[in-house]
Structure 1
Amino acid sequence: MAGTDRGRPPRPSRPPGGGPAAARLPGHRTLARLGKRVLRPGGIRLTRWMLDQLSVGPDDRVVELAAGLGATARLTLARAPAAYTAVDRDAAAVAALGALTAPGTTEVRAVRADAASTGLPDGCATVVYGEAMLTMQPDPAKRRIVREARRLLAGSSGRYAVHELCLLPDGLDPAHAERITTDLCEAMHIDARPLTPAGWSDLLAAGGFTVVARKTVPMALLETRRLVADEGAEGALGIIGRALRDPAARRRVLHMRRVFHRHRAHLGALGLVAVPAPAAPRPSGGTPTAAV
């Protein structure tokens, strides 16, 4: 549960000593070095909504793309699926994820691979999800990752979910959207490319999915109330304390927070749950009739 440390790795006991390096790190890595574990735009509540909608249960074989620090992995493992596979490009993350344990007989493994090319077998999963990772990909890579999720799902009963940053509303002026994107890239030191809710739904549709559930919440990643909800009071105080002792990291966090505030009317977090779209019917094999 949010606010407890059960099943979680220990937080850093001293400031990470960011210095000049902190000014160059991607925003999510700066926050992780300060001890933040929940790095999702909609927080742990939207993650829990996503897992509830996916109905992860004991018969499921789950693949998490870009599993990162393992915050969602632990929530998934608490639901005791038959199997859980974490995919991540970072060797240290893969080592930590592979060492996770589950309360039941869940088979846990971790694979070092790109989300667009996992190397896992076709149809090996009943549930695939990824959080806060498609936003950081250019459009062609977004499409490849969604196609890879479709390949991994077994038959028509599989479920796919994403939890991403979004631009609001659907009719947002493209020039305004570009200004927001530019500010996010500059503040977070990543090539952030969020879409509108309709844009995210279209992306999944193009990859062979039908969206069956959708939820939008405020993007309040660095707000005090969200920090406490996601990390617990003790964890939030620890993050704030480490930031106060690390001037470079503190400046980065405050800069990101100002950008989020500046665009708060047009930034949100989106959860989508989708199922494989029915295959298009093939034309009948009869001889076509000539028009008269």
Structure 2
Amino acid sequence: MSRDRKGSRSGPEEKRLQGHWLLATMGKTVLRPGGLEMTEALLEHARPLPGETVVEFGPGVGRTARLLLGTSPARYIGVDPNPEGAPALRKVLADFPHVSTRVVTADAKSTGLPDESADVVIGEAMLTMMNPRDKVAIIAEAARILKPGGRYVVHEMGLAPEDIDPDTAAELQKEISRTVKVGARPSTMDQWRALLTEAGFSIRFAHQNPMNLLEPRRVLADEGLLGTARIAKNMIVNPAGRHRMLTMRAVFRKYGEHLCGVGFVATASKG
């Protein structure tokens, strides 16, 4: 049986796409575990200021980029090794001609950006999908490119409670990874906090939200009436995509008591 370049079996594209790109294909623009509400809360505490330089790891289709560009930074730099979201992101960037913007095709572990060149670095829903070594490398890269006192915004999938049974956590991780077709390694709030502090960051704000990414009320809050209608239409006309979305939602519901969105605003060491 033939396989695509990523090793998945041939068939409808919707069966092969990683979860976040499947959702984007179906019209979902907010792809963050804690929803738009959490992203806005994190940015409120990170306080990007006019004239600053903002770097976003994994900007995807540009929903958070639009929020960041609305703060009138001097420079916005998106760093993403994947080309899938680039067309949508560039449309967002075009709406802010007064801001110097660019998209760097690079891995977040090695951006190629200068030391101490950013005031704010933000990464959402990406560290969860990394192995432990890569998580540490990406956080270290954020520390390297941030100016002293710069802010690192992290928005990821979390586990609860802190003393979650290890067997339950392993089962959850395995089933979610199989469903979204990419390795998912959510961590507890304390585990995420430890990763940041071990890299030299000081936590200035921490937040937790329910993991309701595909629940109707959250979809409406994140996407608005028109966006929700667009997703509903796509689910009608795209049976394979609808099946994947409903399967993902079923798994999220199954482990609902143990899943959450977690977010931090951390300050880079001043040396």
In the superposition, the TM-score normalised over structure 1's length comes to 0.86
> Within the alignment, does 1:143 sit opposite 2:136 as a pair?
yes
1:157-190 superposed Cα distances (whole Å, 9 cap, x missing partner):
2110100000011111111111110111111111
Match of residue 119, structure 1, among 112, 127, 149: 112
Q: For 1:1-292, what aligned pairs fall within 5 Å after superposition?
A: 20-94=12-86, 96-98=88-90, 100-101=93-94, 103=96, 105-155=98-148, 157-277=149-269, 279=271
Q: Post-superposition shift, 1:105?
A: 3.1
Q: Measure the CA separation in 2 of the matches of 1:250 and 1:125.
A: 40
User: Contact 1:125/1:153 (CA < 8 Å) preserved in 2?
Assistant: yes
User: Contact 2:121/2:153 (CA < 8 Å) preserved in 1?
Assistant: yes
Q: Measure the CA separation in 2 of the matches of 1:93 and 1:251.
A: 22
Q: Post-superposition shift, 1:266?
A: 0.5
**1:109 is aligned with what amino acid?**
R
Q: Measure the CA separation in 2 of the matches of 1:193 and 1:91.
A: 24
User: Contact 2:61/2:86 (CA < 8 Å) preserved in 1?
Assistant: no
Q: Measure the CA separation in 2 of the matches of 1:95 and 1:34.
A: 16
User: Contact 1:87/1:94 (CA < 8 Å) preserved in 2?
Assistant: no
Q: Post-superposition shift, 1:97?
A: 3.3
1:1-59 superposed Cα distances (whole Å, 9 cap, x missing partner):
xxxxxxxxxxxxxxxxxx62211211111111111111111111111111111101113
Bigger drift between 24-33 and 90-99 goes to 90-99
Q: Post-superposition shift, 1:94?
A: 3.9
1:235-291 superposed Cα distances (whole Å, 9 cap, x missing partner):
111101111221111111111111111110000001101012454xxxxxxxxxxxx
Bigger drift between 263-272 and 85-94 goes to 85-94
Q: How many residues end up aligned between the 2 structures? A: 261
**2:121 is aligned with what amino acid?**
V
Structure 2 regions of 5+ residues with no counterpart? 1-10
User: Contact 1:204/1:210 (CA < 8 Å) preserved in 2?
Assistant: yes
Structure 1 regions of 5+ residues with no counterpart? 1-18, 280-292
Structure (1 or 2) with the larger CA radius of gyration: 1
In the superposition, the TM-score normalised over structure 2's length comes to 0.92
User: What is the RMSD computed on CA atoms of the aligned residues?
Assistant: 1.6
1:205-238 superposed Cα distances (whole Å, 9 cap, x missing partner):
1211111100100000000011111111111111
* Map of 1:14 onto structure 2: none
* 3-state SS of paired residue (2:192): helix
Q: Measure the CA separation in 1 of the matches of 2:183 and 2:84.
A: 23
Q: Measure the CA separation in 2 of the matches of 1:21 and 1:90.
A: 17
Q: Post-superposition shift, 1:71?
A: 0.4
**1:47 is aligned with what amino acid?**
T
Q: Measure the CA separation in 1 of the matches of 2:72 and 2:270.
A: 29
User: Which 4+ stretches in 1 moved above 6 angstroms?
Assistant: none
Give the 3 Å change call, closer, same or farther, for CA 103–246 of structure 1 in structure 2: closer
* 3-state SS of paired residue (2:207): strand
